[in-house]
Structure 1
């Protein structure tokens, strides 16, 4: 998705032009088209593996979300999805949930991920979630710095080539936390299958 040049006299889209809402049953094709604006680097950072487009298992899992134990927010511009932020509640510890964020390349480092994480965190809190877990590939310095800004007291632990974070809710500094990385990747979400993360007892 090319961003117009101000010199061309064309309106340059900003955050005020973007609508954030829950993922819907009619969003499947929009989600597929999101791959057009995702580099291999962004996809690798999100899914911890090389893939030329959004994996089918991921698309199927989002179409099965229950909006309680598994929630996903999408950011839309001109009817196209440019960002997805999701959580999956932990079955064994329902007060915890895995967090993952993916933003198309043209919209990275523009504050969109931060806005989506703040909105998602508010929903999660109302549903009894008190902590997000996030996993970032070592070397993704941008994502690690972003999490450190939003949660300055949190220290990551290294596990199997990734930095693992436990992020308490509410976010300590939601108004200024630059949670803007290309992707906060969670291995369990990357391998998600339909119904994964569901906890009917919650």
Structure 2
């Protein structure tokens, strides 16, 4: 998937200038337990074109951090929304009542998605990012 990600896409997901999907992230995907750590992928044939994941907060087990990464050719086509929708359903069945998400302020599509797709979202700013508290629909 790294070959289909621009430096801007990598920066907005990992908050760094990494040239490829980082090894630590790939390792984390290999340690999914499908309860506290879950990920869903979008495929085009056998190529991964999107990933949405959550990691449950160990101090607040009803909350989880959520993140999405979509290959550049697939952005703005609804794949991220579908992955988030499916992940939200899984999380809700597993006792998660809300997500936390950090979004780089230059990532306008993600900011618009949160504002339009999560009307009850609350946010704070921390430097060059917005931290969102996203309640799951009950």
TM-score over 0.5 (shorter chain): yes
Tell me how far apart the structure 2 counterparts of residues 66 and 152 of structure 1 sit (CA, whole Å). Answer: 30
2:97 maps to which residue? 130
Indicate the structure with greater strand content: 2
Look at both structures and tell me which one has the larger radius of gyration over its CA atoms.
Answer: 1
Displacement after TM superposition at 1:138 (Å): 1.3
Paired residue total: 138
**After superposition, what is the alpha-carbon deviation per residue over 1:70-116, rounded to whole angstroms, capped at 9, x for unaligned?**
00001111111000000000000000000000000000000000000
Q: Which residue of 1 aligns with 2:57?
A: 90
Question: What secondary structure does 1:76 align onto?
Answer: strand
Structure 1: gaps (5+ residues): 1-33, 172-202
TM-score, normalising length from structure 2? 0.97
**Deviating more after overlay: 107-116 vs 140-149:** 140-149
Supply the RMSD in Å over aligned alpha carbons. Answer: 1.0
User: Where does residue 4 of structure 1 map in the other structure?
Assistant: none
Higher relative contact order (Cα pairs below 8 Å, separated by 6+ residues): 1
Counterpart selection for 1:146 from 113, 116, 127:
113
* Structure-2 separation of matches of 1:127 and 1:75: 21
